[in-house]
Chains A and B, each alone.
Chain A
Amino acid sequence: MSRRVSRIGVVQLALFVSLGGAVLLFPAPHAEANDNAAALLARARTAASTHDFVGVVRIRWHTPKGTQVADVPVSSDQGLVEVGLGSEKVVGHGLDRWAGADGAATLWHDAGPDQLPKPGTKWDLSTTAGPAVVGRPTTVVVARDHDGNVRARLYVDQSTGLLLRREVLDRHGHAVHDVSFVALSAVDNPAPGQAPPTTPRAHRERTHDQLAHVPSGITAPSAAGDGFRLVGRYRQGAGVVQLFYSDGLFNVSVFEQRGELDWEALPVGGTDTTVSDHRTLSYETAAGTVMFWNFDGAVYTCISDAPPDAVTGLVTTFADASDHSDAIHDVIKFVLGPFSWG
Chain B
Amino acid sequence: MTGRPFGSELPEDALSAYLDGELTADARAEVEARLAGSAEWRSILDEVRAARAALRALPVVDPPAGFFERLLAEAEPVDAGVEPAGVGVADIEQARARRSPRRARWVAALGGAAAAAVVAAVLVAPRADRVRPSVASLTDAHAVRSSTGEDSVSSLAAVGKVTGFRK
Question: A: which residues have CB within 8 A of B?
Answer: 41, 44-45, 47-49, 57, 59, 70, 72, 74, 81, 83-84, 87-90, 92, 95, 97, 99, 108, 110, 112-113, 116, 162-163, 166, 179, 204-208, 231-232, 234, 236-238, 240, 242, 244, 246, 251, 253, 255, 257-262, 265-267, 285-288, 290, 292, 299, 301, 303-305, 339
Contacts and interface: CB of A to CB of B under 8 A. Distances in A.
Contacts of A304: 142
A231 B150 CA distance: 13
Given A242-B145, A255-B133, A70 B39 contact: no
A95 B148 contact: yes
Contacts of A232: 145
A255 B138 contact: yes
Q: Chain A's interface: helix, strand, loop or mixed, by majority? A: strand
Nearest to B139: A287
Given A237-B47, A253-B138, A303-B139, A90 B156 contact: yes
Contact of A92 (B126, B127, B150, B156): B156
B151 A47 contact: yes
Contacts of A90: 143-144, 147, 156, 159-160
Contacts of B158: 59, 285-288
A206 B137 CA distance: 13
Nearest to A268: B164
* Pairs A-B, 7 closest by C-beta atoms: A88-B160, A286-B161, A259-B131, A287-B158, A253-B142, A112-B148, A83-B156
A266 B165 contact: yes
7 contacts: A49-B152, A99-B144, A242-B145, A251-B155, A259-B130, A262-B130, A287-B161
In the complex, which of the residues A166, A208, A232, A237 has the most CB atoms of chain B within 10 Å of its own CB atom?
A237
A251 B145 contact: yes
Contacts of B96: none
Interface string B107-141: 00000000000000000001101111111011111
A28 B36 CA distance: 59
Given A262-B131, A303-B138, A113 B159 contact: no
Contacts of A97: 144, 147-148, 156
Nearest to B129: A259
B53 to A, nearest CB: 13
B64 interface: no
Contact of A299 (B127, B133, B137): B133
A207 B144 CA distance: 13
Contacts of A205: 39, 42-43
Given A74-B153, A90-B159, A259-B129, 12 more contacts: A57-B157, A90-B144, A113-B145, A207-B39, A253-B142, A260-B127, A265-B132, A265-B166, A267-B164, A288-B158, A290-B139, A305-B146
A163 B40 CA distance: 36
Given A113-B145, A238-B51, A255-B133, A59 B156 contact: no
Given A259-B129, A303-B139, A92 B161 contact: no
A82 to B, nearest CB: 9
Nearest to B9: A339
Contacts of A99: 140, 144, 159
Contact of B129 (A234, A260, A301): A260
Contacts of B46: 204
Contacts of A83: 152-153, 156-157, 159
Interface in B43-66: 43-44, 46-47, 51
B167 to A, nearest CB: 9
Contacts of A166: 151, 154
Contacts of A290: 135, 139, 162, 165
Contacts of B11: 339
B86 interface: no
